[in-house]
Structure 1
Amino acid sequence: MSQHDCDLLVVGAGILGLAHAWAGARRGLRVKVCERSQAPQGASIRNFGQALVTGQAPGPMLDLARQSRGLWAELGQAAGLQLKQQGSLLFARSEAEQALLEAFCAGRAQEQGYRVELLRGAALQGLYDGRFTHHRAALHGLDDQQLYSREALPQIVDYLARAHGVQFHFSTLVRDVEGGRVNTTAGTFRATRVVVCSGHDYQTLLAEQLAVLQPQVCALQMLRARLQRPLALQHAVLTGLSCVHYGAFADLPEAEAIRVQIRREQPELETHGIHLLASPTPHGELIIGDSHVYGGDVGPFNAEAIDRLLIELAEHTLGGKLEVLERWQGVYGARGPGPFSVLAAAEGVTAVLMHTGLGMSVGLGLGERTVAALLGEGAWPTAQAA
């Protein structure tokens, strides 16, 4: 048997690729991972590290997020990840945002079993010594988790290699895949099954097969910052702006009043697709963003005006001035036929793509279900509601 033979070869070491590698290794498969960078550099380390259940739309995404929640807890313990499990806080800044959260708690949350609580009055005042009392209410998502992606992904790589014998080939570009034959800059690999998790790169591999999905790319502006007045934040933070972006809320009748208010008072937020997210790092800093620009490709240039909007929103929400430490552009695959695609691209070759920025929230579950289907243990995951 060649040293490059394996049961499962995964292309890409982002969170989707690692999820599939873990799912295969847990089943005793010989797993190899090829990644063209020296380390994960794509969407999976440029994000907030928020693994949200609360924001997911009822149906497949909510199911995957719930499954992923348990998998994150298991992986976090096994790999020694600094996984925050205190949940998320979604703050209502206006009457319209509060009305939506109240309607969500009274209706969909109960119908679909979202584990949430609405904090008002004394409960809101008790958060972080009253730091957030300038808001009207806060939705506490009890099932939400958060980690620091740029440190967590290398830890997961180390854990998979050390505990499960997964072989990683970094700085290795996969040139083409044909059946069980994978041609790379490190030689030819032969694998019983190949899973391609190549993120927003739709041209290097399987270009014709992926073209039928008509996927786009989303670029977003993000920051790492430090509050001048320290805040030992332990929750992922969102605002009512997220209610017009996330599927759990966006189709509720009350969301339209928020859209009208945004268009009347701050139309630039809608123009640039801005909704505030903030995540704590283990080092007392915050990851802050983001904006959304969609297209077939994205330019490399960030707009200072967008960063200023993000900073102003964050300073108001967090109740203090920020010192910006880093700025960067996030990029992820977006706007395909659904929130994700699992595509039988060729004999023995499966492509798995996210079409939203929710890979951290659902990726572990998606990897588990795809590998199970490959081995005949379950149905193929689909983005369509049953």
Structure 2
Amino acid sequence: MSDSNSILIVGAGILGLSHAYAAARRGLKVRVFERTATPLGASVRNFGQALVTGQPPGEMLDLARASRSMWADWSRQAGFDLKRNGSYLFARTEAEEQLLDAFCQGRAQEYGYRAEWLGARDLGTLYGGQFKHHRAALHGLDDQQVYSREAIPALIEYLRNALGVVFHFSTLVRDVEPGVVHTTAGSFKGAQVIVCSGHDYQTLLAAPMAQLAPKICRLQMLRVRPQVALNLQHALLTGLSCVHYGAFADLPEAAAVQEEILRNSPHLDDHGIHLLISPTPYGDLIVGDSHEYGDDPSPFNGEQVDDWMLQLCEDTLGCRVQVVERWQGVYGAKGARPFSWLDVAPGLHAALMHTGVGMSIGPAMAEGNIARMLQEA
């Protein structure tokens, strides 16, 4: 097939779907190719957190804010649940409390982060006092969350039924060239090809991708069931995340938090562990994660890593949990920038994420990529 008004997209994760939406809403004919029968990569293995509060000032914060409104539109149009009540980031130690306070008093006001400070009295009433053992908390009001295992399929159905996007699942793309994809279902031609192949840097466009010196990040993750009637409705983080997220990591007070981690819990730093907790619609919680970087993700999970995360989870929640599932997350990482757009040749492009924030910035990032590709004013 050939159509000068068509775009061919490789990959049905959040980046592929975001580019498909941006192109289809402009009236272009879009085809999406995915090697598996349903998306199984980073977009459905992750926490479903679309965080604004954690993004550093500048481009990343702007993209997260723009993506936030897009998620709201998508949830209404595609009919999936979107929690828009924000996240709680708990300070467990004095150093973490001082870092969060510095953020609230300075950067949050300077750059307009919508965040509320919760002191000891506020924590005494939050979830019936379940979290009163923490020193303080930051309520990130703009943070959102979806249940990825349901939101991604719902978004696919919306794109297919409402915007006419054609999906080719269980279809391996063997090779790409300007305006052409060669697949196990035949060759397809169009005006543009966009490769959104996640952490696969070898199957397609290996040479131009290698110039970015990318790595793969492997995560250990769990789904757990609280042993109390918690009914959690917010994403949860702790001060451990502050040394990982750009909104906090370069503040002077972050050094004391990092020193505290290295002094008291060096194993957390060694394995890149910082606790994230996301509630599912069914009362279970998605918990993680660890970070291990390399050229290939190891298939072997360390039980001790899971134990450390579970201990952090129980300490944060103030209750015991039962493990329901264990799995590996994986995403592309360690580029010079958080994301890349490669103009490989006229009619051939690639979009890559180099961090784990595709859900947070991917929708708006794709909007900008499509606008540039089409040379919109």
**CA offset at residue 241 of structure 1?**
0.2
Letter in 2 for 1:48: F
User: In the aligned structure 1, how far is the partner of 2:40 from the partner of 2:3?
Assistant: 24
Match of 2:31 in 1: 32
Letter in 1 for 2:276: L
Contact 1:5 1:189 in 2 (8 A): no
**CA offset at residue 122 of structure 1?**
2.2
Match of 1:156 in 2: 155
Match of 1:68 in 2: 67
**CA offset at residue 291 of structure 1?**
0.3
Q: Which string of whole-angstrom CA distances, capped at 9 and with x for unpartnered residues, describes residues 12-55 of structure 1?
A: 00000000001111111110000001100000000000000000
User: In the aligned structure 2, how far is the partner of 1:130 from the partner of 1:273?
Assistant: 30
Letter in 2 for 1:147: V
**Does residue 1:114 correspond to 2:101, yes or no?**
no
Within 5 Å, give how 1:76-225 maps onto structure 2: 76-225=75-224
Contact 2:2 2:190 in 1 (8 A): no
User: In the aligned structure 1, how far is the partner of 2:133 from the partner of 2:239?
Assistant: 14
Q: Which string of whole-angstrom CA distances, capped at 9 and with x for unpartnered residues, describes residues 296-343 of structure 1?
A: 112100000000000000001011100000000001000011100011
SS of the aligned residue for 1:188 comes to strand
Letter in 2 for 1:172: T
Contact 2:23 2:30 in 1 (8 A): yes
**Does residue 1:311 correspond to 2:310, yes or no?**
yes
User: In the aligned structure 2, how far is the partner of 1:210 from the partner of 1:355?
Assistant: 12
SS of the aligned residue for 2:220 comes to strand
SS of the aligned residue for 2:117 comes to strand
Match of 2:233 in 1: 234
**CA offset at residue 3 of structure 1?**
7.3
**CA offset at residue 181 of structure 1?**
1.5
Q: Which string of whole-angstrom CA distances, capped at 9 and with x for unpartnered residues, describes residues 225-276 of structure 1?
A: 1001121111110000000000000111101101111111111000000000
Contact 1:224 1:288 in 2 (8 A): yes
User: In the aligned structure 2, how far is the partner of 1:71 from the partner of 1:374?
Assistant: 20
Q: Which string of whole-angstrom CA distances, capped at 9 and with x for unpartnered residues, describes residues 147-185 of structure 1?
A: 110111111111110111100000111111111111111
Letter in 1 for 2:302: A
Letter in 1 for 2:331: Y
User: In the aligned structure 2, how far is the partner of 1:338 from the partner of 1:155?
Assistant: 30
Letter in 2 for 1:358: V
Letter in 2 for 1:82: D
**CA offset at residue 121 of structure 1?**
2.7
Within 5 Å, give how 1:281-300 maps onto structure 2: 281-300=280-299
Please give the TM-score of this superposition, normalised by the length of structure 1.
0.96
Contact 1:6 1:190 in 2 (8 A): no
User: In the aligned structure 2, how far is the partner of 1:178 from the partner of 1:254?
Assistant: 49
Q: Which string of whole-angstrom CA distances, capped at 9 and with x for unpartnered residues, describes residues 126-148 of structure 1?
A: 21000000000010000000011
SS of the aligned residue for 1:353 comes to strand
SS of the aligned residue for 2:41 comes to coil
Contact 2:33 2:168 in 1 (8 A): yes
SS of the aligned residue for 2:247 comes to coil
User: In the aligned structure 1, how far is the partner of 2:267 from the partner of 2:120?
Assistant: 31
**Does residue 1:331 correspond to 2:310, yes or no?**
no
User: In the aligned structure 2, how far is the partner of 1:90 from the partner of 1:9?
Assistant: 40
**Unpaired segments ≥5 residues, structure 2:** none
**CA offset at residue 125 of structure 1?**
1.4
Match of 2:341 in 1: 342
User: In the aligned structure 2, how far is the partner of 1:5 from the partner of 1:231?
Assistant: 54
Within 5 Å, give how 1:37-52 maps onto structure 2: 37-52=36-51
**Unpaired segments ≥5 residues, structure 1:** 379-386
Contact 1:4 1:189 in 2 (8 A): no
SS of the aligned residue for 1:126 comes to helix
Match of 2:14 in 1: 15
Q: Which string of whole-angstrom CA distances, capped at 9 and with x for unpartnered residues, describes residues 198-228 of structure 1?
A: 0000000000010100000000100001001
User: In the aligned structure 2, how far is the partner of 1:257 from the partner of 1:294?
Assistant: 25
User: In the aligned structure 1, how far is the partner of 2:13 from the partner of 2:71?
Assistant: 15
User: In the aligned structure 1, how far is the partner of 2:128 from the partner of 2:112?
Assistant: 30
Contact 1:275 1:290 in 2 (8 A): yes
User: In the aligned structure 2, how far is the partner of 1:181 from the partner of 1:103?
Assistant: 52
Contact 2:181 2:187 in 1 (8 A): yes
**CA offset at residue 6 of structure 1?**
5.7
Identity of aligned residues (%): 63
Instruction: Using the TM superposition, name which of 101-110 and 2-11 deviates more.
Output: 2-11
Q: Figure out how many residues of one structure are paired with residues of the other and give that number.
A: 377
SS of the aligned residue for 2:188 comes to strand
